[in-house]
Amino acid sequence: MKKFFTTQVNHLFETYKIVANKARQVCLYQAVLGIIKSRNVQLPAIADAIKLEGDSIQTKSIIHRLEDFFRETNLDYQALALLLISCLGKGKIRLCIDRTEWDFGKCQVNILMITASTGARQVPLYWELLDNKSGNSNASDRIDVLKKVIDLVGVKRIGIVIGDREFIGHQWLKYLKDNGIHFCMRVPKHHLIERFDGRKQNIENLASHKPIYLQNCQVDGVWVNVYLKKIKDEDYLFLIGTIKEPKYLGQIYRKRWTIEVMFQSFKGRGFNLKTTHIKALYKLKKLVGLVSIAFAMCISLGIYRHEKVQKIKVKKHGYKEKSFCRAGIDWIKDTLKKSVEEFENITDRFFRYLIICKLKYKLNCSLSST
C-alpha cells in the first residue's frame, strides 16, 4: 500500500514538474506525506513520519535532507498552482482573498493568499509573505497576486472575488472593474455612499436591522451596488459589489468563511503551521506550498470518499462529524497502514484525473495561442 500510494504521488509530481530535479521530487512527495501523517510541519516530526519501520537511515539524516530542500530547492509556483487548480475540476471558480498572521518570537509571519473554490472544493492558489511588520496588504500586493491567477485560468473562469474590510480602495476596486471581474467586498462603516444624484450619505443614517439594497452608488470612487444591514448596536454589514441584484451580496459574502476554515486547517487543527520554527520568508513560502499540496490532497480525497465510498456522518446539530480535510487526512493515514484494493482503485482514478486535467490545460493553452 505504501509503495502504491507513494508511487502514485511521485508520478503526479513528475507530471506537474513543481521541482525539476528527480531527487528533489522524491523529497517533495515524502515531505508532503510526512506532513499529512504527522499533522505537523516541524522537521523532526516530518522526518519521523517519513522514516519507515526497519529503515536503517537515521532521523537526523532525513532532517538534514529536508533542511537542504528548503534552503536550496526552487519551486515552480506556477506548476504548483496548476496542480492545485486541477483539484477543482471544471466550472467557474470563486476567489477569496484574505490575510493571516502570527508571531514566532521576534519573527512576524504575514501571509496574503488567494483561494479558489467550486462548490465544497477549495484550494489555495497563490500566496505572498509580506515583509511589512504585520501590516495590511496594499493594492499593488493584491493586484500582483490576482494577475497570477488570471495568467493561470483567464478572466472568464473567475466568477467572483470576495474580500473582507481590508480589501478596499480605489486602485484595487477599479482594477477589478476594468478587467470585468465581479466582486463582493465588505467596507468599513466610516466610508460614505455617494448616490447617483450627487448626495453623500453616512451608513449610520441609512442602516436598519432589515437589509437595504441600493443600486448605482459610488464608494471609494467606483460605481457599485450596495447591501447594508445593521447587525449590532455599532456594527454594520456594509457590502459592495458588481452583481446586478444587490440582495444576493449577503449570501455571496458568507462564502468568504471558507478561507477562514482553510486557515484553521493550515495553522491549527489540520497541519499546525503556526508551530514551524522556520523564520526565513523564502523558506516559509515553500513550506506554505507543501502544506497547500497536503491540504488539497486531503480535502479532495475526503470529498471523493464522501461521494464514492462512505458518507460522513451528520450530527444532531446538523454539521458533519468531521471536515472533508480531516476525513481525507484520516483516510490516508488509515489506508497507509494496510492494503485495501478499493483504496488503490479509487486513488488510481483520482491521480489519473489530476493528470488528465493538466493535459486539458495544456491543450487549451495551445489552442488559445494559435
- Tens-digit pLDDT profile for the chain (370 aa)? 456 666 666 677 777 889 988 888 889 988 988 898 899 999 999 999 888 645 678 889 999 999 999 999 999 999 999 889 988 878 899 999 999 999 887 788 999 999 999 988 899 999 999 988 778 999 999 999 999 999 999 999 999 999 999 999 999 999 999 999 999 999 999 999 999 888 899 998 888 889 999 999 999 999 999 999 998 777 899 999 999 999 999 999 999 998 998 999 999 888 999 999 898 999 999 999 999 999 998 888 888 788 877 888 888 777 788 888 888 888 877 776 655 555 555 566 566 656 656 555 444 444 343 3
295, 258 in Cβ contact below 8 A? Answer: no
Residue in this structure with the C-alpha cell 475526503, named with its chain if needed: 302
Quick one: pLDDT at residue 50? 84
d(CA 206, CA 216): 16
Q: What would the DSSP string read from start to end of 243-300?
A: SS-GGGHHHHHGGGHHHHHHHHHHHSTTT-GGG-----HHHHHHHHHHHHHHHHHHHH
Closest CA to 163 of 151, 152, 175: 175
352, 344 in Cβ contact below 8 A? Answer: no
Does the pTM exceed 0.75? yes
Quick one: pLDDT at residue 339? 52
- Residue 74 DSSP symbol: P
CB atoms within 10 A of CB 58: 11
**Candidates 3.90.350.10, 3.40.630.30, 2.40.110.10, 3.40.50.300; correct CATH number of 81-258?**
3.90.350.10
- Residue 314 DSSP symbol: B
Residue in this structure with the C-alpha cell 446538523, named with its chain if needed: 318
80, 289 in Cβ contact below 8 A? Answer: yes
Quick one: pLDDT at residue 90? 80
Quick one: pLDDT at residue 368? 40
Quick one: pLDDT at residue 212? 94
d(CA 334, CA 220): 52
d(CA 348, CA 312): 22
Q: Which residues pair with 179 in a beta bridge?
A: none
> What sign results for the dihedral spanned by CA atoms 245, 248, 252, 254?
positive
Indicate the SS3 state at residue 125.
strand
Domain ranges of the chain: 81-258
98, 124 in Cβ contact below 8 A? Answer: no
Quick one: pLDDT at residue 43? 94
Spatial strand order in the sheet of 93-104: 121-129, 107-118, 93-104, 158-163, 183-186, 236-241, 222-230, 212-219, 193-194, 200-201
Quick one: pLDDT at residue 2? 56
